[in-house]
Amino acid sequence: MNRKAQNFPPEPNPHHPNAVPNAPEVNVQAPNDPALNGDPNLHSSTVTEPDSAMAPPSPETPSQSPSSPPAARGWKRWPVIGLLLLPLVGFGGWKLYQMLMPGATPPAIKAYRRSARLTVRVVPARRTLAQGWVFDEGTALPVKLRVLNFYASGNITDVARPNGIPLKEGSWVTRGQRLATIDARRQTATIATAQADIQVANSRRKQAQATIVKAQANLKKAKSDLTLAKTEYQRYKRLFVAGAVAAIDLDVYRNRIDQAQSAFQIAAQEVRSAQEDLKTTDSSISAAQAKQRQVAVDLEDTQLVSPINGVVAYINIAKGEYWNTQYLNTSSPQKLIETAPIVVVDPSTYEVELEIQADDANAVRLGQRAFVVLEEAVSAAQASGANRQDLLKLAQTRGSQGSVFAISPSQTPGGRGTKVTIRNFRQVRNLKVGARVYVWIETVANPSAIVVPLGAVLARGQDFYVFVVKTADGTVERRRVTRGVEGLAGVEIISGVKADELVVVEGQNRLVDGTPVKIVDQAKRLKPQALLQPLMLTRENVQ
């Protein structure tokens, strides 16, 4: 190695006149080592030990002392090597610290970390109304339903035209209004005959009454004659005893008593006979009147008269058609209303009957709100892609709101369900007799609950968890939660999540506690209905 390039001073000569005898070797390390502070100006003033390995041997150099072997000088160099390595170790530790500190992470490492984050979708937990619902199918039936049927066969000769408009489904009718008539000529003729029979019987009754009066007069005269005959006989009998009259005269008056007695008996018999004739005549009148009433009933069988104020729900006849009593099918309620000539209902008294599973029925109570909508409306909405929340909104806006009227205390043998009846509808909308309907019963409502979407809650055995995004560092925290009311759009969280915290709704299957995540653009990836599902129930019920 070139000494000049290293700026080493000349090696001291012990034979120089100015040399100090037996001077010790100098081993000095400058405190400002270029290896530590990197100052290049210090090279020229550094005092260091001559490099014995590179210096040529000199015979003038004194030999080493036996007490200082070469190994001892090597151990002296280790502190110097340690001092040289210490800055390198410190620099490496500082770089490692910078890598571990998020605020001091270099941009390249930050970009790598961002690319390594898992993508998730989140929804804020909302403080809103939590509702529990029981959902099932049922049948709509009116409480007041009257099936009007012809009990006689014949051609339909007349159908009512209220206000000049042909009778049809939805027409309002009043109590006692005649709605339709079939051919009643036979019944009308029979009524006329019965009325004639009644008139004849009444005439006979009058004759019988006159006969009774005459017979009673004859009886009275016979009785008077008998009394007179008896009186005269007694007078002549006293005269006969006195010897004033002959015995033949007494016999004459005795015969008069016998004649008067016979006349009296005949008159009494005539009275009884006249009375029997009167009774017979009364019986004839009663029979004729009964026949008249029967024919009147038969005539009523040819007419359909509304027994209530209501609306025509079904009309299955038309003028000119033939009706036979065998057309009516009573095998089922649905068949009955589909084959009856006319069905009149009171629209203010609809009821819905449904059979709920026993587990769901345990939450149903009298007076709870219920929303009813026709099956065809629900089917049309489902065909358009409506979800459960949309169907509930459909029932609330286009359906009929009622309340739980009755809960059966027993279960049906076949389905093991509980029969529930819905009544007291505030407004009947589009309900039809015998129609299939869908029913939502509100079993519980908490107006100030913390609600998260159903998909945010994960089940692990008997416990439930959610992943909450910590906005400070962009990681997720796995929290155990306690569930409350489960609605159609969300579930109430009793403990474990606070309002407005971001909960993960998609991508949980890849997450663990502390996983860095990246939140996708909710406005572009999610529909507003999906983002605000926990709020929809509240908005709908406020409306």
Structure tokens at 81: 């090597």
How does pLDDT run across 183-220, given as a tens digit for each residue? 988 888 888 888 888 888 888 888 877 877 777 777 77
How does pLDDT run across 408-460, given as a tens digit for each residue? 988 877 667 899 999 988 877 778 777 899 999 998 888 888 999 888 999 88
With a threshold of 0.85, does the pTM exceed it?
no
Question: What percent of the chain is predicted at pLDDT more than 70?
Answer: 76
Kindly report the average pLDDT of the chain as a whole number.
76
Structure tokens at 515: 């996983």
Cα-based distances in Å from 456 to 98, 272, 453, 493? 36, 103, 6, 11
* Chain centre to alpha carbon of residue 434: 19
pLDDT of residue 244: 73
pLDDT of residue 415: 66
The position carrying tokens 């609809």 is 350
Closest CA to 476 of 449, 503, 453, 452: 503
Residue 200 region by backbone torsions, left for phi larger than 0, else alpha for psi between -120 and 50, else beta: alpha
* Chain centre to alpha carbon of residue 154: 47
Return d(Cα 441, Cα 431) in angstroms, integer.
17
Closest CA to 235 of 250, 255, 225, 247: 250
pLDDT at 270 over 70: yes
The position carrying tokens 């403080």 is 127
pLDDT at 47 over 50: no
pLDDT of residue 96: 64
pLDDT at 15 over 60: no
pLDDT of residue 481: 94
Under DSSP, is residue 141 helix (H, G, I), strand (E, B) or coil? strand
Return d(Cα 250, Cα 238) in angstroms, integer.
10
Pairing relation of β-strands 400-411 and 517-519? unpaired
How does pLDDT run across 326-344, given as a tens digit for each residue? 999 988 877 888 899 999 9
Domains located in the chain, CATH noted? 3-59+71-92 (no CATH), 118-130+446-542 (2.40.420.20), 133-139+349-444 (2.40.30.170), 144-183+303-344 (2.40.50.100), 185-301 (1.10.287.620)
pLDDT at 507 over 70: yes
The helix or strand, by DSSP H or E, that contains position 356, with its residue range, turns out to be strand 350-357
Return d(Cα 473, Cα 514) in angstroms, integer.
10
